[in-house]
Amino acid sequence: MTDDVRDLLALAVRDEPPLALDRDVVIADGRRALRRRRTVAVGGVAAVVAVAVIGTTALTGGAYNRSDTIQPAAPVSTTDRPRAPAPPTDAPLTTTTRAPLSSNPLSSNPLSSNPLPPQTTTTKHLDDLARIEDLMRAGNLAWPTGVSGKRDGGGYTSTTSGVLAARLRTDTGDRWFTIDAYKTGSRQSTIRCLSAQDGKPLPNCAETRGPDGSGRRVSIAYPTQPLSPVVVMVTVERVDGTTVEVLDTAGVGPEWRSPQALSIDFLFAVAMLKGLATG
């Protein structure tokens, strides 16, 4: 009977379409997930230490700087959280445990220092969108005509939530836009158009060099199935020691747009924004 059922199930998977998974994209997803996990772990340890220190201080009656007057606690409200100001040009994009990013005190920016950003909520999306647009504004960069940040219904569940991930609206459907900035050399770079496995040249991938000498790579994965997205990834190894990966991609479904929405030049311009410097 087992064989019969198996044959029946085999019938269901007959005529399977070609696999459209992009190995580089999957590995990039995995790396992001790994970084998030490490960031969360460090954040958790820091929280435990903070609780221990505060608890010890409280239990010992505040041995240091003890005050007899109990101050009321500040109200806790997410709406009180300040919006990200227009970032200074050398503000780091995110915290990471893989490499020291910056000793710049501006890392206290609430969006860049939050060790536990929610990854699948509208809030995360809107915060990221605001941060991206702040960075673009500081770099005199605007969305191309016909493209805008999506501020309604932007919540998502995605495995590809990058360091900054925003949903964009176009006339023909939505796209995902992600920016990932890290210190060059802090992890394996994807600047070369060579397969990590066998060293062979990757298809639809080009390496160039920017006018300032930065290393540049653009990789385009074309879908092999209807409705699947074109995935465009731009990587820049900047001369300031920062590597930036910018992705123009989409989900699968009628609300998404399959073709890329942003030009390669625009993606490179984003990757070169000074505000993404990791210090």
Partner 1 sequence: MPDRDAEFGEYLDSRAVVMRRTAFLLSGGDWHRAEDLVQTTLAKIYVAWPRLNRDGSVDAYARKVMVRAAIDDSRRAFRRRESVVESLPEIGVAPSGVDDAVDVRRALARLPAGQRAVVVLRYWEDLSVAETAQMLGKSEGTIKSQASKGLAALRELLANGRVLFEGQR
Q: Which residues bind partner 1 (CB under 8 A)?
A: 2, 5-6, 8-9, 11-17, 19-21, 23, 25-27, 29-34, 37, 159, 187-188, 196-197, 225-228, 252-253
Give whichever of 36 and 150 is closer to partner 1, judged by the CB atom. Answer: 36
**How many whole angstroms from its chain centre is CA 250?**
14
Burial 88-118 (b: 16+ CB within 10 A, else e): eeebbbbbbbeeebbebeeeebebbebbebe
Q: Report, in Å, the least distance between residue 173 CB and partner 1.
A: 15
Residue with tokens 């998030």: 36
Q: Considering the complex, state which of residue 133 and residue 174 has its C-beta at the smaller distance from partner 1.
A: 174
Would you say 187 or 274 has its CB closer to partner 1? 187
Give the nearer residue to partner 1 in terms of CB position, either 156 or 268: 156
Of the two residues 30 and 146, which places its CB atom closer to partner 1 in the complex? 30
Smallest gap from Cβ 39 to partner 1, in A, equals: 12
Task: Select 115 or 223, whichever has its Cβ closest to partner 1.
Answer: 223
Least distance from partner 1 to the Cβ atom of residue 193, Å: 15
Shortest Å, Cβ 23 to partner 1: 6
Name the residue nearer to partner 1 (CB basis): 104 or 228: 228
Q: Quote the least distance from Cβ 9 to partner 1, whole Å.
A: 5
In the complex, minimum distance from the CB of residue 59 to partner 1, in angstroms, rounded to a whole number: 38
Cβ 8 to partner 1, closest distance in Å? 6
